[in-house]
Amino acid sequence: MAGRIAIIGGTGKMGQWFAKFFVKKGFKVVISGRFPQRTAKIAKSLGVEAAHSNKEAVKNANLVVVSTPIQTSPKIITEVAHHMRKGSVLFDIASVKKDVIKALKDAQKQGIRTISVHPLFGPGAKNINNRRVILIPVSDDVKVLKEISELFEEEGAAITIVKDAETHDRVMAYTLALPHFINILFGCLVSSSNFEVAKYGGTTLALQLMITQSVFSEDPSLYSTIQMENTHFSILLKDFLRQAHKLIKIIENEDTEEFMKVFQETKNALSKDPMFKDAYDKFYKALESVDTFEK
Ligand SMILES: NC(=O)c1ccc[n+]([C@@H]2O[C@H](COP(=O)([O-])OP(=O)(O)OC[C@H]3O[C@@H](n4cnc5c(N)ncnc54)[C@H](OP(=O)(O)O)[C@@H]3O)[C@@H](O)[C@H]2O)c1
């Protein structure tokens, strides 16, 4: 793939990340946002071109990346597809896929080659090496799948192909929305305690608090969308409550035998993951990069 890349929402966090990524790879990049002055300023700082509108940005682009908020992305995909050259490529990077895939399918019918991409990292990632990128085919165009895979694989990314939006959102309920939820809950609980948690924390708290604090450093509007727009997550939350009630009951009843049974069964299931055996050692290695105690 060669030529000019347009990033819609190129003023945002991931848009800027992708602009830098493509500039480094030698592409000519143009970005758009809603406010031309802000777009021009950010484009200058990135060393890329600024477009006055989304239409102008995509006009001569070989590849268009839609990096706008989740709810806005389907509308933008439909808008830009009308102005793109036939045969050029369009992908979104939204964290919830249900609605974007419909818009990408419509664009595909208009002669635009589409695919859906989900980078499983945030704008803090220094590079893409060892980072996971999910690709969801929108059509049976294997060429576009190959081209986009190569774009990321060349830089060391791990590519996972997911068959459709439904599977993506179901899996993301567990791998994205649930960890966020658990950390938000943990943050709410510890911040409502009337002592300084970090001061009394040991090893587990040090890493847990770091993850929670990094979650709370993110954009609340993106995080609320990930919690609320993924219909599979509301189903998972019902299971969350059922499992929590079950555990609470075991603890309240001081039922050690049942607790150990649940613990062992879950451990057996988790230990099927090859990473399990090294988890404890890796935990201590990770701790070395965290300042555990305020001295
Ligand atoms: N942040 C992450 O960790 C992460 C990770 C993976 C995937 N994603 C996905 O990446 C996408 C962007 O997320 P983000 O964190 O980069 O959000 P963000 O910082 O809020 O960026 C979104 C950008 O979209 C632009 N925008 C909004 N409406 C627009 C329109 N009509 N035309 C053109 N631009 C428009 C905004 O630019 P102006 O304000 O300048 O108009 C804004 O800068 C989301 O779909 C998200 O699910 C995010």
What CATH number is attached to the domain comprising 240? 1.10.3660
- Name 119's bridge partners: 133
Does 139 map to a domain?
A: yes
Asked which of 162, 182, 212 is the last residue of a domain, the reply is: 162
Which CATH number is 47's domain given? 3.40.50.720
Q: Say how far apart CA 147 and CA 142 lie, in whole Å.
A: 9
Which atom of ligand 1 lies nearest, measured to the CA of 38? 40
Q: Say how far apart CA 77 and CA 72 lie, in whole Å.
A: 9
Domain count for the chain, please give it: 2
CA of 15 to the centre of ligand 1 (A): 7
Handedness of CA 280, 175, 179, 207 (dihedral sign): positive
Does 293 map to a domain?
A: no
pLDDT score, position 278: 96
Which atom of ligand 1 lies nearest, measured to the CA of 32? 33
Length of the chain: 295
Is the Cβ atom of 219 under 6 angstroms away from ligand 1?
yes
| Whether residue 94 sits in one domain with residue 11 | yes
| Domain housing 51 | 4-162
Is the Cβ atom of 16 under 6 angstroms away from ligand 1?
no
pLDDT score, position 3: 82
Asked which of 162, 192, 212 is the last residue of a domain, the reply is: 162
Q: Say how far apart CA 128 and CA 154 lie, in whole Å.
A: 10
| Whether residue 213 sits in one domain with residue 172 | yes
Is the Cβ atom of 76 under 6 angstroms away from ligand 1?
yes
CA of 112 to the centre of ligand 1 (A): 22
| Whether residue 123 sits in one domain with residue 72 | yes
pLDDT score, position 295: 53
Residue with tokens 């996971």: 132
| Whether residue 173 sits in one domain with residue 119 | no
Of the candidates 64, 45, 44, the residue with the CA atom closest to the CA atom of residue 3: 64
Does 294 map to a domain?
A: no
Q: Is 293 helix (H, G, I), strand (E, B) or coil?
A: coil
Do 149 and 135 contact (CB within 8 A), yes or no?
yes
| Whether residue 222 sits in one domain with residue 78 | no
| Whether residue 215 sits in one domain with residue 132 | no
Of the candidates 128, 19, 12, 24, the residue with the CA atom closest to the CA atom of residue 63: 19
pLDDT score, position 196: 84
Q: Say how far apart CA 136 and CA 168 lie, in whole Å.
A: 8
Is the Cβ atom of 209 under 6 angstroms away from ligand 1?
no
- Name 5's bridge partners: 29, 63
Is the Cβ atom of 74 under 6 angstroms away from ligand 1?
no
pLDDT score, position 1: 61
Asked which of 162, 184, 208 is the last residue of a domain, the reply is: 162
| Whether residue 195 sits in one domain with residue 64 | no
| Whether residue 43 sits in one domain with residue 173 | no
Is the Cβ atom of 73 under 6 angstroms away from ligand 1?
yes
| Whether residue 102 sits in one domain with residue 14 | yes
Does 158 map to a domain?
A: yes
User: Can you spell out the DSSP letters for 178-220?
Assistant: HHHHHHHHHHHHHHTSSS-GGGG--HHHHHHHHHHHHHHTS-H
pLDDT along the chain (295 residues), means of 10: 89 98 96 97 98 97 98 98 96 97 97 98 94 96 96 97 97 98 97 86 92 95 96 97 98 98 98 96 91 58
Is the Cβ atom of 33 under 6 angstroms away from ligand 1?
yes
| Whether residue 195 sits in one domain with residue 129 | no
Q: Is 114 exposed, middle or buried (0-12, 13-18, 19+ CB in 10 A)?
A: buried
| Whether residue 153 sits in one domain with residue 14 | yes
| Whether residue 181 sits in one domain with residue 110 | no
